Structure 1
Amino acid sequence: MPPKKSAAEAGEATDDAPLEDEAALHPDGMSSSRTTHSREKLRLCEQIVLDHFGPVAANVASVLLQRGRLSLNELQRFILSPEAGAGSTGPTSSSSASSSAPSTSQYAVQPQKTQILHTILTLVQHNLLYHIRLDADGSIIRSHEEPGGIEYFEINPEAILIRNRFGSFMETAEKLWGEEGLAIIRMILLHGKLQVSDILSQLPAISPYTRPLLTYMLLSAYLIPSSFLTSVSPHELTIAYTLEEKKGHKGVPGPKDLRDIDGKVKSRIIEERAANRGTGVRSRTSADSSEARASSSKSNGKKRSSNSAPKVQVRNKRPALDGSDSDSGDDRKRKRSEDDDDEKRARRHGSKTNGHVSKDQAKVGWMEALTDFEKERLDEIIVDEDTFVRVNYDRFDVHIRNELLAELVHNHFNKEAAHVYMKIVEAADARKIENEMWPSVADSRGEPVSLHLLAASLPQSLNLKGGFHRSAFENLNNGRKVTRFDCICEYVALLSRTEDTITRNTRPNPRDLAAVTSAARYILPGSNSNDLMTPTGSRLSGSAIVDYSAAARKMKWNMLKQTVERVFGENEGKVMGVLRREGKLEEKQIHKLALMTLHETREACNKLFSASVIALQEVPKSADRNPQRTFFLYYIDYPRALSWLSDRLHRTQARLAQRRAKEREKAKVLLAKIERTDVQSEGVEKVLSQSEKERLEDCRMRLKLLTVQLARVERESWVLARMGG
């Protein structure tokens, strides 16, 4: 007989079922906050808010995570009355969730109303809360001058989890743009959102390349303008726009009308998001004309001070990149020539060391990596200093995805194949930017990349033949010499598995994790015509497309299999491998294919079934559904299995964060002592005793180990949550 599930297990599995992804409607490419979340995920969100903002903010976040969207009066009532805040009526409401979810009294903080209001403003400033004002009919009130309406607040758990990756974002910024880019991104992450003029005023030292760098970040979508659309939940926009469409519809809308309305609403939201991306910058021609009008109306021929910082600086194309101040006549020409000399000097002496950008390279190194298209846009467009900007998390997540893909290909093949693969990925991202779109982690495929253009972009110092065995190109037809382009074609043939008849002749269901991971192709042909031939006889298309979804599924399967073997044992891992390869099987078939005894097979299947890693399908032989005459087939339910894995990772993250907080709490007196200014001026080594030094070293070692482990678990959780596939 098959094992039976309890009602609690069945209800929990239903709560964790994945809903429709609305990443395309979100300004950061993340899923909507209306997606159902598990209890472990909500606990982790509360722990992150507690670590970053304190107990009052954790109190507010706890109520919003449990209750969902609330007005200010409702939020205050739930926080100030522990009996009202102890329950859970939000998307995770259930008897078990209510009993295990933390109540507001656990933080031992009874905030005042002003503290609650200030906390809400802080969370809105850091993009953790959506807010919207609605009238009595449910329509959105956009104008601040219009009276009436009720303001509602809704927390976004995905934005909370992203805060654990801020360190990776700053590391990426330093690699791309040097110390100046790091300072800009760190400042915006610290404040949530900032006005461009405030960024320029708060930077410790403004170089001639600061404004062009801010313009480039906006054009490349590393920064996005903060506006009304970015502060409203996509779910709220969908409801409000649907209500508007229904009001304009004559009569009662039928099923077809409702589908049309749904399509119009989604198209409208996506168009508004796209239009919002174009804000924050303006053309230099219009900026110059407005600057001229403003300067002529000020005073009679008074010269502008050289210390002023006007919005529009330069008129010519090439000097527009240096962002120098606008002067008149010979001063402007002399300054432009000096800036050009500085730029040439930086280009001549700039160098990279150990993967980091040196100080000379930081000024102009990022400009050298620009394409001609990006340089043209920088020449024509200038940043608007009145714009409020925020970090586009999805754009930085693309770099994390690319690092993981390179590591995956390197482990599967070698470093040369990984280098070629990464060049294809970078070329695909560049093509998307040229089409005025930005790369996203939600992309399932990249843009087509020509192999001839790829060969021209690879550095000459890369030894492409080093990735093949010395006998790989022996005994070739016609005895021709192998060129670099031939090696590139061979790498593409390996990555696309052109010689594998299974992957070439079958088309697995893209939602079937087993079918795709068993025949993973990192690259797909860009066209149906095979007009290229490799030296070994494989035929290729002239262009290649990166298949992100297949690589993501392969990574997810590897994580799932390793976790099952670590948690349950080797036999359970064998069962997972057999079910992945063969599909639905009975216990007798599993025990024969896995070379295990029937008792071991039954025990392993029971463990996996109880954890919702595998599922059971009943196939009755007769209409009476007699269990004695029924086939019980086990199979891997991939959405539930990945949900089980995600819950384990979230629970591990929360425990590691709590352990790190406890370690800091135990050593808080010592940590506070070394942060004092008098201790730092004299030197920590001179002030501390020998026992204090040993305690400090032990505390730092423990915190370092916990932080590294937390980063590793967070990276795995990010793969499950953000990478499509």
Structure 2
Amino acid sequence: MADADTARLCTEIVRSVFGPLTATVTSIILTHGRLGLPQLLRFSKLKPRTVRAAILVLVQHNLLWHSQSEEEGEVFEINIDECLMRLRYGRYVWLAEQLYGKSGGEIVQLVLDHGKLRPPDIVAQLSIYDLVKAPALLTQTLHKLVDEAYLKPSTLLSHFSPREKLIRYEGEEKRKISGFPTAREVREARETAQARLTREEEEAEQVGMKRKAKDHSHKASKRKAIEEDMEVDDGVYFRVNCERFNIHIRNKLIETAASERFNESASTVLRATLKATEPRQRKLTDVRSDPTSFANVAMHLPDDVDLAAGLVLQSSKTPPTMTLVKEYLGILASADNPTPAGRAASFVSLGGSKVQVEFEIIARRLQRRVLESVARERHGHEGVRIIRLLADTGMMDEKQISKIGMMAAKDARPLLSAMSAESLVSLQEVPKSADRNPTRMFYLWYVDLQKASTVQLRSLYKTLYNIATRRQAEQEEPNLKAVLDKRQRSDVSQDEERLLTRNERELLAQWEKKREKLTVLEMRVEEAVFILRDLGTFAINDD
């Protein structure tokens, strides 16, 4: 069951796309937890036909899990992660267009609009205006999207809650243990259940491609050879693989961080390193990229790049490109600082003639930067100083913080209390005696990165909901709504300059500026959400 801010945001997302009735069903499931159809009918007070239609829509768009249990019968549960991913759908379409041209963007947009589709339906809907050339181009682009995992098959397993299956598998493994299980046996049972679930998911997603046999005739010898090739299975429904597109968003954030830390040339070298290993990047949970050679990195550099512009060279003669690439990779790896601090500030790691991008180290640094920006906005530079001091040093008491942080004790005490109320810092009690008397205890402050990220993530969800509500309220203003409805007319849309008055055009221009500002703000907040939620899985895995 989701918290209040997440539930409101998911309900608003569903309402803006599928209407108020489907949003009502979504809100009830998010508020009460997973429910069966009789409970949904009783809580929603809607007609059975309406509730069934809403359930079908949510299942079609991968927003609803359903499962069968002996105690409760068939129950439904909202897929919160898939619902929140809808905020990035526009960016997914843009990325597909950048990678595979206009046809790639159209295919991804069509699949996102319908939830899941079969290849013949995709080709048929997009080639209605060009029945000669379009089908071949769309089929080729669709093959690339499926082959490189931007589209993945929608199987029966994808409609069941993985959390429920994991609990059931873990229970089966624990029942195999005789006697009282130890902590090691419980951990091994959990790992075995997770490996079983992962194996099932990987096997289920192998149905997207099938082998076909082609006959090639040789004109001279008249002999035929049969060659096996892969093609997209026309009988499988495909959906968009959000994680594959999220990898591109992560890589862009890494490039931006390198550009801010060093310069554009270092960012270009890091971008080439990411592109060299991009085809093998399939999951956001990868700790680091696959190793690649320096020569492979140099091959992915743009032809017109001037790497020498970002370095201070001893001589006027420009060194070879490979020498410059090695120099930049050494800077990105913090080769001049072989200490834990240098390791924590690196972007890549070097091993012989191979280089790897350190995703986990960069993600932790980006996550910490988001928390520091929150502390700076709410508590000033003193709050950032405390966050950095505790994150670098570990647990400290109040006197040590005020002394090392060069702050007066009367200023540090209320600041720590305020930051503790927002979970930016946490308090650990260490008793001096067995009676745990509060007067005989050490009180140590520290930064719990996972707890702070979780609390700030809820605050960001609340901000996203407020942005969506503000946009909807602005759009429902009577004067603006009348002008927007007028612009929807076919005659007005073809000649707005002549059929709209000057006041109406000015009102529309003001609305476009407001909507643009709200969209930019939404993108910035969503970027922080991506860092804390999607890149914050490393901290969860460590626990």
Q: TM-score scaled by structure 2?
A: 0.89
* Equivalent residue, structure 2, for 1:381: 230
C-alpha distance in structure 2 between counterparts of 1:708 and 1:659, whole Å: 14
Equivalent in 368, 375, 398 of residue 587 of structure 1: 398
C-alpha distance in structure 1 between counterparts of 2:499 and 2:270, whole Å: 53
* Equivalent residue, structure 2, for 1:483: 320
Write the mapping of 1:34-73 to structure 2, written as runs, cut at 5 A.
37-73=2-38
Cα distance, 1:131 vs. partner? 1.5
Q: Summarize the Cα distance change of 1:680–1:548 in structure 2 as closer, same or farther, 3 Å threshold.
A: same
Q: Which amino acid in the other structure matches residue 199 of structure 1?
A: I
Write the mapping of 1:640-679 to structure 2, written as runs, cut at 5 A.
640-666=451-477, 667-679=480-492
Range moving further from structure 2, 149-158 or 384-393: 149-158
C-alpha distance in structure 2 between counterparts of 1:481 and 1:463, whole Å: 10
Specify the SS of the correspondent of 2:74: strand
Equivalent in 473, 497, 505 of residue 693 of structure 1: 505
Cα distance, 1:697 vs. partner? 1.5
C-alpha distance in structure 1 between counterparts of 2:296 and 2:103, whole Å: 32
Equivalent in 636, 648, 653 of residue 447 of structure 2: 636
Asked if the contact 1:523–1:546 (Cα under 8 Å) also holds between the matched residues in 2, the reply is: yes
* Equivalent residue, structure 2, for 1:130: 65
* Equivalent residue, structure 2, for 1:470: 313
Q: Which amino acid in the other structure matches residue 525 of structure 1?
A: L
Specify the SS of the correspondent of 1:469: coil
- Residues 309-368 of structure 1, C-alpha deviations (whole Å, 9 max, x = no match): xxxxxx56xxxxxxxxxxx999xxxxxxxxxxxxxxxxxxxxxxxxxxxxxxxxxxxxxx
Question: Highest Rg: 1 or 2?
Answer: 1
Specify the SS of the correspondent of 2:86: helix
Q: Which amino acid in the other structure matches residue 486 of structure 2?
A: K
Range moving further from structure 2, 208-217 or 569-578: 569-578
Q: Which amino acid in the other structure matches residue 232 of structure 1?
A: F
Asked if the contact 2:424–2:452 (Cα under 8 Å) also holds between the matched residues in 1, the reply is: yes
- Residues 7-43 of structure 1, C-alpha deviations (whole Å, 9 max, x = no match): xxxxxxxxxxxxxxxxxxxxxxxxxxxxx74322222
Is 1:684 paired with 2:533? no
Specify the SS of the correspondent of 1:194: coil
* Equivalent residue, structure 2, for 1:191: 114
C-alpha distance in structure 2 between counterparts of 1:183 and 1:396, whole Å: 15
Asked if the contact 1:586–1:634 (Cα under 8 Å) also holds between the matched residues in 2, the reply is: yes
Q: Summarize the Cα distance change of 1:257–1:616 in structure 2 as closer, same or farther, 3 Å threshold.
A: closer
Q: Summarize the Cα distance change of 1:426–1:456 in structure 2 as closer, same or farther, 3 Å threshold.
A: closer
Equivalent in 228, 235, 260 of residue 163 of structure 2: 235
C-alpha distance in structure 1 between counterparts of 2:521 and 2:205, whole Å: 36
* Equivalent residue, structure 1, for 2:223: none
Q: Which amino acid in the other structure matches residue 421 of structure 1?
A: L
Equivalent in 323, 329, 332 of residue 495 of structure 1: 332
Specify the SS of the correspondent of 1:633: strand
Q: Summarize the Cα distance change of 1:264–1:588 in structure 2 as closer, same or farther, 3 Å threshold.
A: closer
Specify the SS of the correspondent of 2:290: coil
C-alpha distance in structure 1 between counterparts of 2:189 and 2:405, whole Å: 52
- Residues 543-580 of structure 1, C-alpha deviations (whole Å, 9 max, x = no match): 11111011111111111111111122232222223222
Range moving further from structure 2, 228-237 or 257-266: 257-266
* Equivalent residue, structure 1, for 2:541: none
Q: Which amino acid in the other structure matches residue 521 of structure 1?
A: S
Equivalent in 120, 123, 126 of residue 55 of structure 2: 120
* Equivalent residue, structure 1, for 2:98: 175
C-alpha distance in structure 1 between counterparts of 2:65 and 2:353, whole Å: 46
Write the mapping of 1:44-443 to structure 2, written as runs, cut at 5 A.
44-80=9-45, 111-134=46-69, 136=70, 150-204=73-127, 205=130, 206-241=134-169, 262-285=190-213, 288=214, 380-430=229-279, 432=280, 438-443=281-286
C-alpha distance in structure 2 between counterparts of 1:47 and 1:181, whole Å: 29
Asked if the contact 2:117–2:238 (Cα under 8 Å) also holds between the matched residues in 1, the reply is: yes
Cα distance, 1:705 vs. partner? 1.1
* Equivalent residue, structure 2, for 1:449: 292
Q: Summarize the Cα distance change of 1:662–1:379 in structure 2 as closer, same or farther, 3 Å threshold.
A: farther
Specify the SS of the correspondent of 1:545: strand
Cα distance, 1:259 vs. partner? 6.0
Specify the SS of the correspondent of 2:25: helix
Write the mapping of 1:28-39 to structure 2, written as runs, cut at 5 A.
37-39=2-4
C-alpha distance in structure 1 between counterparts of 2:86 and 2:218, whole Å: 49
* Equivalent residue, structure 2, for 1:374: none
C-alpha distance in structure 2 between counterparts of 1:549 and 1:415, whole Å: 22
* Equivalent residue, structure 1, for 2:350: 525
Asked if the contact 1:571–1:600 (Cα under 8 Å) also holds between the matched residues in 2, the reply is: no
Q: Summarize the Cα distance change of 1:253–1:615 in structure 2 as closer, same or farther, 3 Å threshold.
A: closer
Quote the RMSD (CA, aligned, Å).
2.7
Cα distance, 1:48 vs. partner? 1.1
C-alpha distance in structure 2 between counterparts of 1:696 and 1:451, whole Å: 53
Cα distance, 1:184 vs. partner? 0.4
Q: Which amino acid in the other structure matches residue 51 of structure 2?
A: I
C-alpha distance in structure 2 between counterparts of 1:627 and 1:482, whole Å: 66
Cα distance, 1:455 vs. partner? 2.7
Q: Which amino acid in the other structure matches residue 404 of structure 2?
A: L
Residue correspondences, number: 522
Specify the SS of the correspondent of 1:501: coil
- Residues 210-250 of structure 1, C-alpha deviations (whole Å, 9 max, x = no match): 21211111111000011101111112323454577789x69
Q: Summarize the Cα distance change of 1:633–1:150 in structure 2 as closer, same or farther, 3 Å threshold.
A: closer
* Equivalent residue, structure 2, for 1:576: 387
Q: Which amino acid in the other structure matches residue 59 of structure 2?
A: V
C-alpha distance in structure 1 between counterparts of 2:489 and 2:427, whole Å: 62
C-alpha distance in structure 2 between counterparts of 1:413 and 1:133, whole Å: 54
Contiguous gaps of at least 5 residues in structure 1: 1-35, 81-110, 139-148, 289-314, 317-327, 331-377, 433-437, 475-479, 504-514, 527-540
- Residues 680-722 of structure 1, C-alpha deviations (whole Å, 9 max, x = no match): 24x1222222222222221221112111111111111111100
User: Larger % of helix: which?
Assistant: 2
Equivalent in 370, 378, 383 of residue 559 of structure 1: 370
Specify the SS of the correspondent of 2:345: coil
Equivalent in 448, 453, 458 of residue 301 of structure 2: 458
Asked if the contact 1:246–1:253 (Cα under 8 Å) also holds between the matched residues in 2, the reply is: no
Cα distance, 1:264 vs. partner? 4.2
Equivalent in 568, 582, 601 of residue 412 of structure 2: 601
Q: Summarize the Cα distance change of 1:551–1:264 in structure 2 as closer, same or farther, 3 Å threshold.
A: closer
Cα distance, 1:279 vs. partner? 1.2
- Residues 268-304 of structure 1, C-alpha deviations (whole Å, 9 max, x = no match): 322222122221221221xx5xxxxxxxxxxxxxxxx
Q: Summarize the Cα distance change of 1:260–1:591 in structure 2 as closer, same or farther, 3 Å threshold.
A: closer
Q: Which amino acid in the other structure matches residue 654 of structure 1?
A: Y
What is the percent sequence identity of the aligned residues?
31
- Residues 197-220 of structure 1, C-alpha deviations (whole Å, 9 max, x = no match): 100110034253221211111111
Contiguous gaps of at least 5 residues in structure 2: 220-226, 539-543
C-alpha distance in structure 2 between counterparts of 1:240 and 1:610, whole Å: 37
C-alpha distance in structure 2 between counterparts of 1:425 and 1:565, whole Å: 32
C-alpha distance in structure 1 between counterparts of 2:323 and 2:19, whole Å: 59
Asked if the contact 2:487–2:493 (Cα under 8 Å) also holds between the matched residues in 1, the reply is: yes
C-alpha distance in structure 1 between counterparts of 2:188 and 2:393, whole Å: 42
Specify the SS of the correspondent of 2:446: strand
Asked if the contact 1:170–1:186 (Cα under 8 Å) also holds between the matched residues in 2, the reply is: yes
Asked if the contact 2:2–2:30 (Cα under 8 Å) also holds between the matched residues in 1, the reply is: no
